[in-house]
């Protein structure tokens, strides 16, 4: 719903150009400001959630969404809409970072692509289906009712969250997980040694068995009451590090090529999304299509159908493919195994851009840019986003939450930059040249997965020393270090 709150307004642009006495370029600036609010928000949301609980952050996000919808419903000029977009982006930031972190905690390694692709489908679902509903509402009533209905929905969500949502933050000891990992690696190595003949007298079991002794907690935990479970904020399981330490840690990951590459690939998917958001109303409300507001909204169904199909490819299929590759690799799953599946999104992404841009330029039948163009782009955006997110998490698993924050920040900043540029770009070069430029850009950027397949493992080895350094939980707490130096100096 918060993703819908960000992008439902696409079919309303043609009405707002007249009513607000503005231009499509200024509306594109509003889209860019939404990405700015979203990108800045993800930096602040994670440390706040780790200190005060995820429920607190979700509730705050919903409250801000209600306020932004009230504000947006009263818009009378483009300035109001710009302010709405910044706040709407910030309000949506909890679902853009905390849900991914929860998915990484809840699912096994061979299930992550399915979990992440389902999440991305939910986000794109709000982005794609919101304009469909907004078009019908604006045609039958008035565009302000899009905001009123969202206020009602968010209000119901807030009541549900306050009275039914429970805190899931729980601090777990990593000792058992590390022991399990060391046991498995030790047995794999001894098994390989025995097979190579280095230690023939040592018989190794083919089946790896690991037994972890769980120690019962002596302190009997008291059952929480209903009101204890549903407090506005929770600090019992909070992160003991300072807020500033948690805030700054993702920035240290900017030196890890795999994470930056994943952020770039995911960010360029926002290129194509921004292309559709910024141009749909202008293309389909004018000649030769002359669509009504509700029909402009219906064009996003092409993106949604493509995203659904892409979810099954980028999720269950990629998980299945990774398991198959692991079996061929003596049971060892490597992050680069998943990258082989980027071939299909790379081809379809380029084809979708050509179908959408050239179809609109030549005034082809609406099915060319909508069904073929948006459908192929939706498939590529949904599947490639899940692939690159899971790749980054598996490369540096102990820095998963920090990696996701940095990737999402990079993604939103790329989306912001492109939203600023797309309208002047098309005005300067025309739709045809812009389409061919974006086609070439998509091929070069998406095909860079070939380099990561080739050198990804070597890059991970190269960054191992820094990885082990950054995984220390207190790494990056510069303020505490300075305080300690001051105290020691006294």
- The residue with tokens 């604006």 is 138
Q: pLDDT per position in the chain (490 positions), as tens?
A: 777 777 788 888 888 998 999 998 999 899 899 999 999 999 999 899 888 888 899 999 999 999 999 989 988 889 888 999 999 999 999 887 787 777 666 666 667 667 777 777 877 787 788 889 998 898 888 899 999 999 999 999 999 999 988 776 666 655 555 555 556 555 555 554 555 454 444 444 444 454 545 455 545 567 777 677 777 777 777 788 888 889 999 999 999 999 999 999 999 988 888 888 889 888 999 889 999 988 998 999 999 999 999 989 998 999 999 999 999 998 888 999 999 999 999 999 999 999 999 999 999 999 999 999 999 999 999 999 889 988 998 999 889 889 989 999 999 999 999 989 988 999 899 999 999 999 999 999 999 999 999 999 999 999 999 999 999 888 877 666 555 554 455 4
Return the pLDDT at 363.
Answer: 94
Closest CA to 165 of 243, 89, 102, 107: 102
| Single pTM value for the model | 0.85
Q: How many CB atoms lie within 10 A of CB 111?
A: 15
Return the pLDDT at 5.
Answer: 76
Please answer whether residues 8 and 130 qualify as being in contact, where contact means their C-beta atoms are separated by less than 8 angstroms. Answer: yes
- In degrees and rounded to multiples of 5, residue 233 shows phi and psi of -145, 155
Tell me: cis bond preceding 288? Omega within 30 of 0 counts: yes
Return the pLDDT at 204.
Answer: 43
Return the pLDDT at 76.
Answer: 86
Return the pLDDT at 50.
Answer: 86
Per residue, what are the HEC states of the chain?
CHHHHHHCCHHHHHHHHHHCCCCHHHHHHHHHHHHHHHHHHHHHHHHHHHHHCHHHHHHHHHHHHHHHHHHHHCCCCHHHHHHHHHHHHHHHHHHHHHHHHHHHHHCCHHHHHHHHHHHHHHHHHHHHHHHHHHHHHHHHCCCHHHHHHHHHHHHHHHHHHHHHCCCCCCCCCCHHHHHHHHHHHHHHHHHHHHHHCCCCCCCCCCCCCCCCCCCCCCCCCCCCCHHHHCCCCCCCCCCCCCHHHHHHHHHHHHHCHHHHHHHHHHHHHHHHHHHHHHHHHHHHCCCCCCCCHHHHHHCCHHHHHHHHHHHHHHHHHHHHHHHHHHHHCCCCCCHHHHHHHHHHHHHHHHHHHHHHHHHHHCCCCCHHHHHHHHHHHHHHHHHHHHHHHHHHHHHCHHHHHHHHHHHHHHHHHHHHHHHHHHHHHHHHHHHHHHHHHHHHHHHHHHCCHHHHHHHHHHHHHHCHHHHHHHCCCCCCCHHHHHHHHHHHHC
Return the pLDDT at 218.
Answer: 47
Return the pLDDT at 331.
Answer: 87
Supply angle C-alpha 271, 274, 279, rounded to 5.
125
Please answer whether residues 155 and 32 qualify as being in contact, where contact means their C-beta atoms are separated by less than 8 angstroms. Answer: no
Cβ neighbours of residue 111 closer than 8 Å, sequence gap 6 or more: 319
Return the pLDDT at 223.
Answer: 77
Q: Which pair of structure tokens corresponds to residue 442? A: 């998509």
Closest CA to 120 of 340, 367, 318, 368: 318
Q: Which pair of structure tokens corresponds to residue 43? A: 């930096």
- In degrees and rounded to multiples of 5, residue 274 shows phi and psi of -65, -35
C-alpha to C-alpha distances, 466 to 253, 439, 472, 477, nearest whole angstrom:
9, 36, 10, 16
Supply angle C-alpha 347, 428, 135, rounded to 5.
65
Please answer whether residues 13 and 135 qualify as being in contact, where contact means their C-beta atoms are separated by less than 8 angstroms. Answer: no
């Amino acid at each position: 719903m918060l993703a819908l709150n960000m992008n439902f307004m696409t079919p309303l642009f043609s009405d707002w150009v007249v009513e607000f006495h503005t231009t499509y370029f200024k509306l594109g600036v509003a889209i860019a400001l939404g990405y700015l609010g979203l990108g800045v928000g993800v930096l602040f949301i994670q440390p706040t959630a780790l200190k005060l609980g995820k429920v607190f952050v979700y509730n705050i996000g919903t409250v801000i969404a209600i306020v932004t919808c009230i504000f947006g419903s009263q818009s009378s000029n483009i300035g109001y809409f710009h302010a709405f977009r910044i706040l709407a982006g910030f309000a949506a930031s909890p679902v853009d970072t905390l849900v991914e972190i929860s998915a990484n905690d809840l699912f096994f390694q061979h299930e992550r692509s399915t979990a992440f692709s389902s999440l991305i489908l939910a986000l794109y679902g709000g982005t794609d289906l919101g304009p469909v509903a907004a078009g019908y509402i604006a045609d039958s009533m008035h565009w302000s009712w899009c905001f009123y209905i969202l206020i009602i929905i968010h209000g119901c969500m807030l009541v549900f969250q306050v009275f039914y949502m429970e805190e899931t933050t729980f601090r777990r000891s990593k000792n058992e997980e590390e022991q399990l990992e060391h046991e498995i690696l030790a047995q794999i190595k001894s098994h390989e040694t025995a097979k190579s003949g280095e230690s023939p007298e040592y018989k190794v079991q083919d089946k790896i068995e690991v037994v972890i002794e769980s120690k019962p907690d002596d302190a009997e935990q008291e059952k929480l009451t209903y009101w204890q479970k549903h407090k506005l904020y929770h600090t019992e399981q909070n992160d003991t590090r300072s807020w500033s330490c948690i805030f700054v840690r993702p920035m240290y990951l900017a030196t890890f090529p795999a994470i930056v590459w994943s952020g770039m690939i995911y960010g360029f998917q926002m290129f194509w999304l921004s292309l559709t958001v910024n141009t749909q109303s202008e293309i389909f409300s004018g000649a030769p299509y002359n669509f009504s507001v509700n029909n402009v909204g219906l064009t996003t169904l092409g993106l949604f159908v493509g995203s659904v199909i892409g979810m099954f490819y980028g999720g269950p299929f990629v998980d299945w493919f990774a398991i198959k590759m692991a079996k061929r690799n003596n049971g060892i799953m490597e992050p680069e195994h998943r990258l082989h599946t980027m071939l299909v999104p790379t081809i379809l992404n380029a084809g979708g851009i050509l179908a959408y841009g050239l179809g609109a330029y030549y005034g082809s039948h609406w099915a060319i840019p909508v069904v073929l163009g948006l459908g192929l782009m939706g498939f590529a955006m949904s599947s490639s986003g899940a692939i690159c997110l899971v790749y980054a998490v598996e490369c540096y698993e102990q820095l998963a939450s920090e990696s996701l924050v940095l990737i999402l920040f990079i993604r939103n900043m790329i989306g912001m930059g492109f939203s600023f540029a797309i309208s002047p770009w098309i005005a300067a070069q025309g739709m045809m040249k812009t389409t061919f430029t974006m086609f070439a850009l998509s091929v070069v950027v998406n095909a860079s997965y070939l380099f990561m397949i080739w050198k990804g493992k070597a890059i991970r080895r190269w960054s191992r020393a820094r990885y082990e350094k950054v995984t220390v939980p207190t790494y990056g707490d510069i303020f505490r270090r300075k305080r300690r130096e001051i105290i020691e100096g006294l």
